Chains A and B, each alone.
Chain A
């Protein structure tokens, strides 16, 4: 299976995703420069964390205009997997590929910590190796991870099982403690926590593998939506 990681000016966690997928999980991974036009060959495209274009106006506001993003959108429209982590999640909401928006943390401070997440729906390409209600510990590192969305959309998301991860102790003020969501079609994931930072015992935690291995299982055909 082939993963592609988009590198924007200001991406920081591109290299972390690369190492987690390649060194720890043995996958085929390539970087995709923001100024390229095609992303045809990838089974899963990842928009990594960081501060794309400095994140100066709003987080993730400028990245959607990068040259590569038209192709990324086509990739997602075809039903292939697209994952946005942290800044990538912010970019996906700015593009309208995921509902809602991410605003400043309730305490107005950047927070770097490891938090407990509850898996709310295991029937997706991103969570199939988890158990329902499983608690996994995943690091967060963001200043604007406070998820907001209107009530109508929220109801729809609940009904469709689009809420995938919630915080056990809400760090940032997100509505319904939301940490990660997917689109209606369940092929686009956005989450503030960083699974790629939790893939090795040496770093004290490998719970992130539950998520990355779910993706690999799905791509290998080991799991089909019911």
Chain B
């Protein structure tokens, strides 16, 4: 089983990277760009495991390690 975990800065948290890239995109001509937020995509290969178990474990992984829940939010997809 395969999982994709998305970790992004929480909405209320400033994202200096996203802001700087947004300004750079505006500067090189993409003037419709209003906001950019930058996060991480983490691909995880899981062995023999049920979807329910995977969900429980992925949530744990995010809380414990993958996301810094002080400033980041996460979501995941299981394929």
Q: Do chains A and B make direct contact within the complex (CB under 8 angstroms)?
A: yes
| Interface SS majority for chain B | helix
Of the four ranges (under 10, 10 to 19, 20 to 34, 35 or more), the interface on chain A belongs to: under 10
Closest to A63 in B: B24
By a CB distance below 8 angstroms, the chain B residues around A56 are 16-17, 20-21, 38
The interface bits of chain B over 1-24 (1 if a CB of A lies within 8 angstroms of the residue's CB, else 0) are 000000000000000110011001
Does any Cβ of B come within 8 Å of A203's Cβ? no
- Asked if B28 lies at the interface with its beta carbon under 8 angstroms from chain A, I say yes
- Distance in angstroms between the alpha carbons of A62 and B19 in the assembled complex: 13
Q: How far is the CB of B8 from chain A (nearest CB, A)?
A: 15
CA distance A62 to B17 in the complex (A): 12
Asked if B27 CB lies within 8 Å of chain A CBs, one says: yes
B27-48 vs A, CB cutoff 8 Å, 1 = contact: the mask equals 1100000000010000000000
List of B residues within 8 angstroms of A54 by Cβ: 16-17, 20
Q: How many residues of chain B get a CB closer than 8 Å to chain A's CBs?
A: 8
**Closest chain A residue to B23 by CB distance?**
A53
Q: Is A108 an interface residue (CB 8 A)?
A: no
Contacts of B17 on A, CB cut-off 8 Å?
Answer: 54, 56-57
User: A53 near B20 (CB under 8 angstroms)?
Assistant: yes
Q: Kindly identify, within residues 19 to 77 of chain A, every residue whose CB is under 8 Å from any CB belonging to chain B.
A: 53-54, 56-57, 62, 65
Q: How far is the CB of B21 from chain A (nearest CB, A)?
A: 5
- Residue on A with the closest CB to B24? A62
Chain A contacts for B16, CB-based, 8 A: 54, 56
Tell me if B21 and A57 are in contact (CB < 8 A).
yes
Q: Which residue of chain B lies nearest to A57 when distances are taken between CB atoms in the complex?
A: B21
7 nearest CB pairs, A to B: A56-B17, A54-B20, A62-B24, A56-B20, A65-B28, A57-B21, A53-B24
Report A's interface with B, CB cutoff 8 A.
Answer: 53-54, 56-57, 62, 65
Which residues of B pack against A, CB within 8 Å? 16-17, 20-21, 24, 27-28, 38
A–B complex contacts, Cβ < 8 Å, 21 sampled: A53-B20, A53-B24, A54-B16, A54-B17, A54-B20, A56-B16, A56-B17, A56-B20, A56-B21, A56-B38, A57-B17, A57-B20, A57-B21, A57-B24, A57-B38, A62-B20, A62-B21, A62-B24, A65-B24, A65-B27, A65-B28
